[in-house]
Amino acid sequence: MGDPPDSRDLGRVQRVDGPSAESIVLGLYHPTLGRRVLVFDAKAGRCGWAAERPTGEAADGFVKRLRNLLVGAATLRVEARGSRRRLWLRTRSGEEVVLTDHEHAPVLRRALDGFPLAGRRRFATEPLESDWTPSEPLPPDAPAAPSVAKDPSRDLRRRIADAKRRIDRKIRAIESDAARASKVESLRSDAGFVLANLAAAIPGSPALVALDTSTDPPAPRTVALDPARDARTHAERLFHEARRLERGAVLAQERLSLAAAEREALLALEAALDEGQPLEEVEARLESRPTRPRPRDPKAPRRPYREFLGSEDRPIHVGRSARDNDTLTTSARPNDRWLHARGRRGAHVVVPLAKGETCSAELLLDAALLAAHFSEAHADERVEIQHADRRHVHKRRGSALGAVTVTHDKTLLLRADADRLRWLLSRER
């Protein structure tokens, strides 16, 4: 570590650290000399340059106060008297302050009145008007502080690290959603118990108390009720909540597998950088990753359907709600193919087709998988899917939302295909 020259422009303070109780480290920037590290070591009585920033203890109150005052300050000069040193600085507000040492402890004092601002062990008492002299300049043959070369991959690594943090947060949120599926069996058990003991339910009561015959030996059991609903309605609500959580768990597992695959891809990019692969190739792979869909333009009209790409990159439209099902179906063209899970509540699915075109078997299978997935039958191994030309699907006046009448329809017995479904869900536009 060499002494700094007697200069009135050592640079501006960009960073302040205190790796030990006897030292202060200033990160400086000079327009000509670049970034440098100045170490004020009270124990050694030195104030000079360092090739690397020393590390050590976390910042205490003294260092934090130094940061608030000195970041952005200009370093003016270093003065010496014997083995002691002091550093003059001018803050952003124009005030001159002095960083000095006393009994091997750095202390900050105001140049105007000589009183210390803060200290670690003992306050300095040395008057400012004493016989301090400028430090000797840096010897001509002393090695200059080496400039730290910027890692060309640093920005790319930071972008990858930011993407990993986002994925990790997403994975934690999905795992939290999936954990809620543990309530499914309990909800169904309570719903079945309530239905089996409707005669024992008292209207307006907050709980149902009856003998549970499913245990051996039978024992009394209490299930909370909603006093505003009758027992049967409450049981139906419990079944509905169980189905909702079960559907959410299936979706959560699919989302979790996609997020895990994305994280593995990011780890592969980091490994590619470590192996020295060209930055252009790694950046191209990072840019080609599937990203989250852009937020919808608030001025753009809302679409009543979600769009997925099936085989041959053909679009498949899936209704978002019962009202959207009506809009999707009634606005489809007569030749479009319409699909729905037979006898189950779920989304209407439409495959847009050109006039005179028929739906291929692969595309029909993709649409059927989506119709089953976005229905109550999503967890079944086999699902009956009805399909017909849109011209044979009619919305009767006064019918319920999503209810239609279908003629000339066909039935497809669909087997679950988790891999193909996962592929379809990843191709939402």
Contacts of 385 (CB under 8 A, 6+ apart): 339, 340, 341, 342, 368, 371, 372, 411, 412, 413, 414
Burial classification of residue 299, based on how many CB atoms lie within 10 Å of its CB (0-12 exposed, 13-18 middle, 19 or more buried) = exposed
Strand partners, 406: 393
Tell me: do 324 and 364 sit in the same domain.
Answer: yes
Tell me: do 127 and 34 sit in the same domain.
Answer: yes
Tell me: do 122 and 236 sit in the same domain.
Answer: no
Tell me: do 44 and 101 sit in the same domain.
Answer: yes
Mean pLDDT per block of 10 residues along the chain (429 residues) reads 52 88 85 84 75 82 81 83 76 81 55 46 43 54 45 83 89 85 88 90 90 87 89 88 82 84 89 86 80 58 90 92 94 96 94 92 95 90 94 92 93 90 87
Q: How many CB atoms lie within 10 A of CB 270?
A: 16
Please tell me the predicted confidence (pLDDT) of residue 426. 83
Tell me: do 46 and 102 sit in the same domain.
Answer: yes
Tell me: do 363 and 265 sit in the same domain.
Answer: no
Residue 28 lies in a domain: yes
Tell me: do 224 and 275 sit in the same domain.
Answer: yes
Please tell me the predicted confidence (pLDDT) of residue 36. 86
Tell me: do 261 and 313 sit in the same domain.
Answer: no
Tell me: do 98 and 184 sit in the same domain.
Answer: no
Output the CA angle 170-174-175, nearest 5 degrees. 115
The CATH number that applies at residue 37 is: 2.30.310.10
Domains in the chain: how many in total? 3
- Rounded to the nearest angstrom, the gap between the alpha carbon of residue 229 and the centroid of all alpha carbons in its chain is 40
Residue 147 lies in a domain: no
Please tell me the predicted confidence (pLDDT) of residue 389. 96
Strand partners, 38: 26, 49
Q: CA 235 to CA 184: how far, in whole Å?
A: 13
Q: CA 50 to CA 25: how far, in whole Å?
A: 9
- Residue after which a domain boundary falls, among 226, 261, 287: 287
Tell me: do 282 and 343 sit in the same domain.
Answer: no
Contacts of 210 (CB under 8 A, 6+ apart): 193, 197, 200, 220, 221
Q: In this structure, are residues 363 and 427 in contact, taking their beta carbons and an 8 Å threshold?
A: no
Residue 95 lies in a domain: yes
- Residue after which a domain boundary falls, among 100, 134, 168: 134
Residue 5 lies in a domain: no
Residue 216 lies in a domain: yes
Tell me: do 121 and 195 sit in the same domain.
Answer: no
Residue 37 lies in a domain: yes
Residue 172 lies in a domain: yes
Please tell me the predicted confidence (pLDDT) of residue 126. 46
> Which range of residues forms the domain containing residue 207?
154-287
Tell me: do 121 and 231 sit in the same domain.
Answer: no
- Residue after which a domain boundary falls, among 134, 167, 195: 134
